[in-house]
Structure 1
Amino acid sequence: MPDTSPTSPAPEPFRVPEGNLDDLASTLAKTMAEVRQHGVILDRLGSEPEPTPDPTDHQQEDGASAAEAADTKQADGPASVFIVALGGKAYAAELTALSNWVHHLFLPVYGREISTNRPWCAQWHEHPEAVARLHALWLAWQQFTDTEAGLSGPSTWHRDHLDQALVHLRAPDGPFAACTTSATRPNHRLLAAPAPEQSQVAA
């Protein structure tokens, strides 16, 4: 049966007013940053080893079920996401993700010039304090740049986290005190930490 419906005119091309182009570019840049962050999170999740079941769970002497045993373990508290509490492959995966953030966002935006008052070390990942401070800063960045943090989230991150971290991280007596103080003279040296006191054992 032939089509007797009237032909509709071709739709007119959609044009964006020039004044809105900046808003679109800003929205696109934000969306791309979120997509990259989601990729980092997915990479971290994919690199974490799957939990292995405890073979003793089904051999509880008091006859407690596996669910009850899981509740008991949960009461002990969840595992920390802080990098200093991780080890082995979990630490390596987290350090890789942190390095991506440090090299592609933190340093290009907040690196500032190296000087005697603001030392830096290209081998920052070998300084435990620097790793801890940068990781804490990155965790806060993930929280306060999320859309759920609201419009004031980034400002709160700068005020409460970034500013304080920079004061200690790049201080003349901070973790990089013996490292690079001039961009033309790269240097890396770990300062010795105080030795833990030996507990006296009663005779």
Structure 2
Amino acid sequence: MSDEPDETPRLDVPVGMFEDIEDLKSQLAQLTALVEARTGGDSAETVEAVSADEEEPAGGDAEGEEEEWQYPPFILLLDPPEYDDELRGLIEWVEGVLVPGYLGEPSADAKWCHRWFEHSVAIARLHAAWLAWQELTNPVSCGNTGPSVWHRDHLDPALRELRGAAGPFAGCTKGEHRVEHRLPSLVPSAWTHEDGA
């Protein structure tokens, strides 16, 4: 008599299920790291924070919604002094990390304005790249592939848009800064024309 079952159980595993499980494990690790970072790493506080989020009503009040919408702080929506603080941090990162590490000499094909912080489009794009850099260079939350993802998905597209022929620095030349070149002029419209007769 054999201890083996008469029939082998059928294990139908959908294709890609193990990859999905690994992705879920990675996402869980990232969320756990994020919760621990925001609560100071105390697991009791982590449980309370998660429970509080789950118990909050769907409608919520206006003040509660404002408190929830703090991350990420899209810079163009901030008011002073938060805007000034965020811009100061962005300038330090751009001038301390981005310019010396990634920007070569400006040219006709790859422009750069030394007064980039006066171009709102540049501020918005660089701020987005900076937020992604803060997240994707932390191995606890993103693993070892974060920097590669940051370069591919954030830095390279941002620099292409900023330094390209139609970017915000298109009217700036070496030594000369022009913001007004990006402001649209009045466009004639049939609705505003008065009858000349």
Same fold? TM cut 0.5:
yes
Which one of 59, 69, 82 corresponds to residue 78 of structure 1? Answer: 69
The corresponding residue for 1:145 is 137
CA offsets 1:19-42 (integer angstroms, 9 cap, x no match): xxxxxxxxxxxxxxxxxxxxxxxx
Contact 2:137 / 2:146 at 8 angstroms: preserved in 1?
A: yes
| Partner Cα distance (1:92, 1:75) in 2 | 23
Which one of 116, 123, 148 corresponds to residue 155 of structure 1? Answer: 148
| Partner Cα distance (2:186, 2:146) in 1 | 40
Q: Displacement of 1:193 after TM fit? A: 2.4
Does the residue aligned with 1:177 lie in a helix, a strand or coil? coil
Q: Displacement of 1:194 after TM fit? A: 2.9
| Partner Cα distance (1:161, 1:118) in 2 | 17
| Partner Cα distance (2:84, 2:178) in 1 | 22
The corresponding residue for 1:186 is 175
Taking structure 1 as the reference length, what is the TM-score of the superposition?
A: 0.57
Give 5+ residue unaligned stretches, structure 2. Answer: 1-55, 192-197
Q: Displacement of 1:90 after TM fit? A: 0.7
**Aligned length in residues:** 128
Structure with the larger helix share: 2
| Partner Cα distance (2:182, 2:160) in 1 | 21
Q: How does 1:87-102 map to 2 (within 5 A)?
A: 87-102=79-94
Contact 2:168 / 2:182 at 8 angstroms: preserved in 1?
A: no
Taking structure 2 as the reference length, what is the TM-score of the superposition?
A: 0.59
| Partner Cα distance (2:117, 2:76) in 1 | 12
Is 2:174 the partner of 1:174? no
